[in-house]
């Protein structure tokens, strides 16, 4: 018996939040539905670069995940999305603390999906980065 949409989204959130990489960098999905997502990252000192700001790769992971999770809410049964392009504009330096990323699908086609995301500080709402991804949609292996 197939899952209803609400059950699918709750399962998606639980699986992602239990993933080793999400736990390792302090990232979690707060909510997702209808082509949107909200993720949070509790940036710790271990994610800083040599200059004391958050490493750009961590921000890239957050952008990629916010976009991918948003697109994941629009996938069909047995379909997966694989990132083929990731673009980021780093706006302001981020430091240790909580960041919030909001993702939104801007195109869901037959073979590709395009999404965008922005990252802000939870406290103060300072824009840290904006990004966009393109995903290839395919049947799961």
Q: Are 98 and 43 in contact (CB under 8 A)?
A: yes
pLDDT at 1: 46
> Where residue 2 falls among pLDDT bands split at 50, 70, 90?
low
In the structure encoding, which two tokens stand for residue 78, read together?
Answer: 């047995």
Q: Where are the domains of the chain?
A: 5-139
Question: Are 137 and 112 a contacting pair, CB within 8 Å?
Answer: yes
> Is residue 45's pLDDT more than 60?
yes
pTM across the whole model: 0.94
* Tally of CA atoms within 13 A in the half-sphere of 43 that contains its CB: 28
pLDDT bin (cut points 50, 70, 90) of residue 141 is: confident
Taking a C-beta distance cutoff of 8 angstroms, is the pair 94, 53 a contact? yes
- Structure token digits, residue 8: 């699918």
Quick one: pLDDT at residue 125? Answer: 95
CATH top-level class of 5-139: alpha beta
CA distances for 117 relative to 8, 11, 26, 37, 112, angstroms: 22, 22, 18, 9, 17
Task: Write the pLDDT tens digit of every residue in 61-94.
Answer: 999 999 999 999 999 989 999 999 999 999 999 9
């Amino acid at each position: 018996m197939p899952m209803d949409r609400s059950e699918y989204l709750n399962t998606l959130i639980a699986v992602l939040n239990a993933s080793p990489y999400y736990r390792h960098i302090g990232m979690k999905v707060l909510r997702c539905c209808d082509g949107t997502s909200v993720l949070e990252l509790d940036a710790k000192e271990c994610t800083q670069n040599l200059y004391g700001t958050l490493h750009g790769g961590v921000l890239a992971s957050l952008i990629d995940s916010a976009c991918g999770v948003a697109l994941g809410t629009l996938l069909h049964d047995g379909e997966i999305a694989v990132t083929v392009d990731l673009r980021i504009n780093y706006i302001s330096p981020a430091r240790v603390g909580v960041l919030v990323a909001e993702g939104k699908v801007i195109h869901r086609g037959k073979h590709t999906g395009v999404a965008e995301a922005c990252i802000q500080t939870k406290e103060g709402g300072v824009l840290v980065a904006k990004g966009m991804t393109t995903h290839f949609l395919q049947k799961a292996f």
